[in-house]
Amino acid sequence: AEVAPGAVHVPGWLDLPAQRRLLDACREWARPPAGLRTVRMPSGGEMSVRTVCLGWHWYPYGYARTVVDGDGAPVKPFPAWLDTLARDAVARAYGTDGGDEAYDIALVNFYAAGAKMGLHRDSDEKSGAPVVSLSLGDSCVFRFGNPRTRTRPWTDVELRSGDLFVFGGPSRLAYHGVPRTFPGTAPAGLGLTGRLNVTLRVSGL
Ligand code: MD3
Ligand code: FE
């Protein structure tokens, strides 16, 4: 379903075995060094979501090859199979191929019960390539705003385990956030308490 121009939601894109494989990979990536960390904002506050990055390390607000605000380790490599997955995702959502830029960043966000993400724009990438989002575990309310203001109009969409969302074109710079998750709603067979979101991006760096 096209939620806004360039914002396409594909419910249930990953079947349960594919979700399990991606979850297993996330568990490996979460281990130190350069593992899951709590992001501290320049204001001093901590994000309730915990994060691990591949390819390029995101920190507020930029990208680096080392975990500049954590253990200082080199960021884990971005595996070629994630570029393939991102291109398959763009093809499924848009019915076109993903262009010639290689996907080279993964940001994995873990939401324990009560974690949320405020409305923000993702503007630290130099490329305008679509962002690919994959959800695992608990369902959530995903709030999709507009490219102009942090205020309404916005659309709330429920994201469930296995859902794909692609954000490109005029939606690439739209405000978005996760005001709540629904603890205990992960698929019984997945073996995840909480929610994981994997975003795949092109750095343009
Ligand atoms: C729209 N993650 O990592 S995924 C983020 O569920 C982020 O963890 C949320 O916002 C999460 O920056 C939302 C959906 C999403 C991700 C990236 C986008 C929507 C986007 C980039 C541009 C526009
Ligand atoms: Fe974002």
Domain segments of the chain as ranges: 2-201
Q: What is the mean pLDDT of the chain?
A: 97
Burial class (CB in 10 A: 0-12, 13-18, 19+), 116: middle
Query: Which atom number of ligand 1 is nearest to the Cα of residue 174?
Result: 23
Q: What type of residue is 153? A: P
CA of 159 to the centre of ligand 1 (A): 12
Is ligand 1 within 6 A of the CB of residue 146? Answer: no
Does position 177 have pLDDT exceeding 80, yes or no? Answer: yes
2-201 falls under which CATH superfamily?
Answer: Alpha-ketoglutarate-dependent dioxygenase AlkB-like (2.60.120.590)
- Are the C-beta atoms of 36 and 49 separated by less than 8 Å? no
CA of 132 to the centre of ligand 2 (A): 11
User: In which region does residue 55 sit, left (phi positive, over 0), alpha (psi from -120 to 50) or beta (all else)?
Assistant: left
- Rounded to an integer, the average pLDDT of 116-143 is 98
Range 172-187 burial, b when 16+ CB lie within 10 A, else e: bebbbbbebbebeebb
Query: Which atom number of ligand 1 is nearest to the Cα of residue 140?
Result: 6
- Rounded to an integer, the average pLDDT of 89-96 is 96
ipTM field: 0.97
- Rounded to an integer, the average pLDDT of 115-134 is 97
pLDDT in tens, 14-59: 999 999 999 999 999 999 999 999 999 999 999 999 999 999 999 9
pLDDT > 70: percent of the chain: 100
CA of 174 to the centre of ligand 2 (A): 9
Is ligand 1 within 6 A of the CB of residue 26? Answer: no
Is ligand 1 within 6 A of the CB of residue 154? Answer: no
Minimal-distance CA residue to ligand 1 atom 23: 172
Please give the pLDDT value at position 105. 98
Is ligand 1 within 6 A of the CB of residue 117? Answer: yes
Is ligand 1 within 6 A of the CB of residue 76? Answer: no
Q: What type of residue is 54? A: L
Please state the residue numbers annotated as binding site for Fe cation. Answer: 120, 122, 176
Please give the pLDDT value at position 174. 98
Please give the pLDDT value at position 93. 97
Q: What type of residue is 78? A: F
pLDDT band (50, 70, 90) for residue 111: very high
C-alpha 115: how far from its chain's center? 15
Does position 98 have pLDDT exceeding 80, yes or no? Answer: no
pLDDT band (50, 70, 90) for residue 182: very high
If we measure between CA atoms, which residue out of 52, 5, 19, 36 comes closest to residue 160? 19
CA of 110 to the centre of ligand 1 (A): 12
Q: What is the value of pTM for the model shown?
A: 0.98
